[in-house]
Amino acid sequence: MCGIVGYTGNAPAVPVLLDGLERLEYRGYDSAGVAVVSRERGLQIEKCKGRLSALREKLDGQPPLAGTAGIGHTRWATHGEPNDVNSHPHVSQNGRVAIVHNGIIENYVEIKEFLLHKGVAFRSDTDSEVVAQLLEYCFNDHSDPLDAVYAVLERLEGAYALGILCADRPDMLIAARKDAPLLLGYGDGESFIASDATAIIAHTRDVAYMEDGEVAVLTRAGVQVFDEYRRPIEKEHHFIEWDVSAAEKGGYAHFMFKEIMEQPEALRQTISPRLRDGRVVFEELHITAEDVRRFRRIFIVACGSSYHVGMVGKYNLERLMRTPVEVALASEFRYSDPLIDKDSLVIVISQSGETLDTMAALREARNRGAYVLSIVNVVGSSIARESDDVLYTWAGPEIAVATTKAYSTQLALLTMLGLWMARCLDRVEQTEYDAVVSELEALPAKLAEVVSSTEIYQYLASLYFNQECIFYIGRNLDYALGLEGSLKLKEISYIHSESYAAGELKHGTISLIEQGTLVMSLATYGPLLDKAVSNIVEVKSRGADVVALTTEEHRQRLEAIASHVLTIPRTHPVLQPNLGVVPLQLFAYYIALHRGCDIDKPKNLAKSVTVE
Ligand code: F6R
């Protein structure tokens, strides 16, 4: 989704902005632009459709834009097609203000009509341009830019993270936020804004997260922040724990591959601090055992891969806690008039912590009195801040659009939460509890074993990269795992793929199986191995090629019937999907590599989905 970076300091702004935009590329975009301001030349803007390289080329072919304050933007089109004119920054009619905007201005038609009546000429089809035009219009009544900004914000409905430059204030940058992420960066004689810390991490790790309604004025001298009533406020500073190398490829061909390989360490960081003397300990949680005993219903709400984590979580939490768990897609949940009340626990899962549908579901749950506990990767993100409790997955920054290490850490953390709650309810046998804890301790090492050799996935990808459709089948936890394997494949390789509960095949899907169809049969869930074997026979007898995924001890049995067998080490059943997902990630990765796809930035996708 759209990205914002802004700078004011002593250095030329353009290189800082371009570097920041490059680091935001992973979020997905279709156009990019920068604006800088100087006393001599006023506002100077360059923007265009396409990759950042196109913008760089345009900038290289002209005298440098001059200014030590500027704003940059990568756009992911919502209102108006991706083209040069609709790209940000947008500049007002008489060139007094330039703005970059993330989010959607819901009442832009009304504002546009008002301004058209006043004789303002619009250039773009975007909702965002109204902010620039309205600001210039408000400058007629307010000579102080901050007065004008507050007057504009009063009229805006919808979501916004805004970066604003004024032609007559060449060292000043104004930022405003409502329902779209924006953070402030504090440097030495320089200040930054960014929609995501990765954009400025090369310059500073000292940041503050803006809250809804806040407005910030940044100059070389520092940052002043005001609340919605324009009262000055002191922001709490946060230190970003990871450094710039975590957001770079470090010799790997793709971020996705690097992040797959980082999974053992990400799991170690997530699990180890929360295991003590053979027990799961969540020092960061406010929720008590008494609260857990009070909950009559548990919901897990998320989107995409995070939802797939929830699917695994349902099986695991119900097994461990013997409490009914419902899993819901956030985009459905928010409009479903959900049956939740103060005795409900809503577990919200999100890597970015900014997914709009998930955020809306969270608010819906809180409005209805539920207790919201979120599992989030990005520290200080909106979902983390609005939850009653938060558990962070310490996966580090995830840059590839397709999630891997965030999925893995979410999965482990959700299972740990289930185990902890089961203990609060006194519903888990000590032997089962001990077995899960001991396998949690062993999990990073077992995962390291899985990622240590990749030849088999490369080989299979070389055989199957031309398939038109690939099916994933499995039962119970393997069904939930298949959903993620199938999504991974389709999002990065563009091969059509479906995931089915294997028992459903005979109710329709099996008619799609023909000679040479590839079926990935997931058979890691020991108790249902016989059923998995029957399903393999069923599809083989209709001509399918079957790649089976199972645990080491079942290799021989599956080799007798499947075309190829992938194995993973055995662990406790509730943790088996944590090992099972890695071969599926690697298979998808190598298939996409063979097909020459843009693996880290698949078409039409964005890393953080901040629109509905
Ligand atoms: C798929 C993927 C997406 C996200 C989904 C939710 O690889 O990454 O499906 O899982 O957009 O995002 P978060 O977890 O940031 O809320």
69: domain CATH number? 3.60.20.10
The count of domains in the chain is 3
Whether 355 and 484 share a structural domain: no
160 CA distance to ligand 1 middle (Å): 21
- pLDDT of 199-217, one tens digit each? 999 999 999 999 999 999 9
CA angle (140, 66, 12) in 5-degree steps? 115
Whether 496 and 535 share a structural domain: yes
- Reply yes or no on whether the pLDDT at 579 is more than 80: yes
397 CA distance to ligand 1 middle (Å): 14
DSSP per-residue string spanning 506-552:
GGTGGGG--TT-EEEEEE--GGGHHHHHHHHHHHHTTT-EEEEEEEG
Among 184, 414, 221, 456, which Cα is nearest to 315's? 414
Helix (H, G, I), strand (E, B) or coil at 13: helix
- Reply yes or no on whether the pLDDT at 335 is more than 90: no
Specify the pLDDT at position 243. 79
403 CA distance to ligand 1 middle (Å): 7
> Does 350 contact ligand 1 (Cβ within 6 A)?
yes
Cβ-proximal residues to 175 (8 Å cutoff; 6+ apart), any chain: 6, 161, 162, 163, 164, 182, 184, 193, 210, 215, 216, 218
> Does 270 contact ligand 1 (Cβ within 6 A)?
no
**Sorting pLDDT into bands at 50, 70 and 90, what band is 78?**
confident
355 CA distance to ligand 1 middle (Å): 8
Beta strand residue intervals within 96-138, DSSP E: 97-102
What residues are annotated to the active site?
2, 607
Whether 97 and 60 share a structural domain: yes
Q: Is the pTM of this model over 0.75?
A: yes
d(CA 490, CA 302): 19
> Does 303 contact ligand 1 (Cβ within 6 A)?
yes
> Is residue 606 one of the residues assigned to a domain?
no
Q: Give the type of residue at 602.
A: P
358 CA distance to ligand 1 middle (Å): 10
% of the chain beyond a pLDDT of 70: 100
Ligand 1 pocket test target in 254, 392, 403 with most atoms within 8 Å of CB = 403
Average pLDDT (262-280) is 97
d(CA 87, CA 321): 51
Whether 230 and 253 share a structural domain: no
Specify the pLDDT at position 112. 96
d(CA 552, CA 558): 10
- Reply yes or no on whether the pLDDT at 287 is more than 80: yes
Ligand 1 pocket test target in 1, 256, 305, 414 with most atoms within 8 Å of CB = 305
Whether 70 and 127 share a structural domain: yes
403: domain CATH number? 3.40.50.10490
Strand order in the sheet with 3-8: 42-49, 31-38, 69-75, 3-8, 191-194, 183-186, 206-209, 238-239
> Does 256 contact ligand 1 (Cβ within 6 A)?
no
Ligand 1 pocket test target in 351, 358, 497 with most atoms within 8 Å of CB = 351
Average pLDDT (399-424) is 97
Q: Which atom of ligand 1 is nearest to the CA of 305?
A: 10
> Is residue 610 one of the residues assigned to a domain?
no
- pLDDT of 499-553, one tens digit each? 999 999 889 888 899 999 999 999 999 999 999 999 999 999 999 999 999 999 9
Q: Which atom of ligand 1 is nearest to the CA of 358?
A: 16
> Is residue 607 one of the residues assigned to a domain?
no
Whether 213 and 266 share a structural domain: no
* CB-based contact 164:175 (threshold 8 Å): yes
CA angle (566, 570, 574) in 5-degree steps? 110
Average pLDDT (295-306) is 97
* CB-based contact 581:8 (threshold 8 Å): no
Boundary residue ending a domain (416, 451, 486): 451
d(CA 41, CA 18): 20
Whether 169 and 260 share a structural domain: no
Nearest CA, atom 7, ligand 1: 402
Helix (H, G, I), strand (E, B) or coil at 455: helix
Boundary residue ending a domain (245, 261, 278): 245
Whether 21 and 63 share a structural domain: yes
Nearest CA, atom 5, ligand 1: 304
d(CA 438, CA 434): 6
Helix (H, G, I), strand (E, B) or coil at 81: coil
- pLDDT of 350-386, one tens digit each? 999 999 999 999 999 999 999 999 999 998 888 999 9
Burial class from Cβ neighbours inside 10 Å (0-12, 13-18, 19+) for residue 122 reads middle
Average pLDDT (27-55) is 93
- pLDDT of 132-165, one tens digit each? 999 999 988 888 999 999 999 999 999 999 999 9
- Reply yes or no on whether the pLDDT at 428 is more than 90: yes
Whether 235 and 179 share a structural domain: yes
> Does 358 contact ligand 1 (Cβ within 6 A)?
yes
**Sorting pLDDT into bands at 50, 70 and 90, what band is 497?**
very high
> Is residue 608 one of the residues assigned to a domain?
no
CA angle (171, 174, 179) in 5-degree steps? 155
Q: Which residue has the tokens 């929720």?
A: 287
Whether 582 and 501 share a structural domain: yes
**Sorting pLDDT into bands at 50, 70 and 90, what band is 27?**
confident
336 CA distance to ligand 1 middle (Å): 21
Q: Which atom of ligand 1 is nearest to the CA of 488?
A: 7
> Does 393 contact ligand 1 (Cβ within 6 A)?
no
536 CA distance to ligand 1 middle (Å): 31
Residue by residue, what is the 3-state secondary structure of 9-48?
A: CCCCHHHHHHHHHHHHHHHCCCEEEEEEEECCCEEEEEEE
- Reply yes or no on whether the pLDDT at 261 is more than 80: yes
> Does 195 contact ligand 1 (Cβ within 6 A)?
no
Ligand 1 pocket test target in 195, 256, 306, 409 with most atoms within 8 Å of CB = 306
Nearest CA, atom 9, ligand 1: 304
Among 83, 77, 90, 70, which Cα is nearest to 20's? 70
Average pLDDT (403-423) is 98
Boundary residue ending a domain (451, 471, 488): 451
> Does 486 contact ligand 1 (Cβ within 6 A)?
no
Q: What are phi and psi of 559, to 5 degrees?
A: -60, -25
137 CA distance to ligand 1 middle (Å): 39
> Is residue 424 one of the residues assigned to a domain?
yes
Cβ-proximal residues to 329 (8 Å cutoff; 6+ apart), any chain: 301, 302, 303, 307, 357
> Is residue 95 one of the residues assigned to a domain?
yes
Domain span at residue 410 reads 249-451
> Is residue 123 one of the residues assigned to a domain?
yes
> Does 491 contact ligand 1 (Cβ within 6 A)?
yes
Whether 409 and 465 share a structural domain: no
Token duo for residue 481: 């795992």
**Sorting pLDDT into bands at 50, 70 and 90, what band is 30?**
confident
Average pLDDT (437-466) is 96
CA angle (118, 123, 127) in 5-degree steps? 80
> Does 374 contact ligand 1 (Cβ within 6 A)?
no
- pLDDT of 220-259, one tens digit each? 889 999 999 999 999 999 999 887 777 788 889 999 999 9
Specify the pLDDT at position 276. 96
Ligand 1 pocket test target in 76, 256, 303 with most atoms within 8 Å of CB = 303
Report the DSSP pairing between strands 518-523 and 545-551: parallel
- Reply yes or no on whether the pLDDT at 608 is more than 80: no
> Does 409 contact ligand 1 (Cβ within 6 A)?
no
Token duo for residue 319: 């097994």
Mean pLDDT of the residues in the chain: 94
d(CA 75, CA 3): 7
DSSP per-residue string spanning 428-478:
S-HHHHHHHHHHHHHHHHHHHHHHT--HHHHHHHHHHTT-SEEEEEESTHH
Strand order in the sheet with 232-233: 90-91, 97-102, 160-166, 173-178, 215-219, 222-226, 232-233
> Does 352 contact ligand 1 (Cβ within 6 A)?
yes
Whether 379 and 300 share a structural domain: yes
Specify the pLDDT at position 556. 96
565 CA distance to ligand 1 middle (Å): 29
> Does 305 contact ligand 1 (Cβ within 6 A)?
yes
Specify the pLDDT at position 612. 72
> Is residue 612 one of the residues assigned to a domain?
no
> Does 351 contact ligand 1 (Cβ within 6 A)?
yes
> Does 1 contact ligand 1 (Cβ within 6 A)?
no
Nearest CA, atom 11, ligand 1: 304
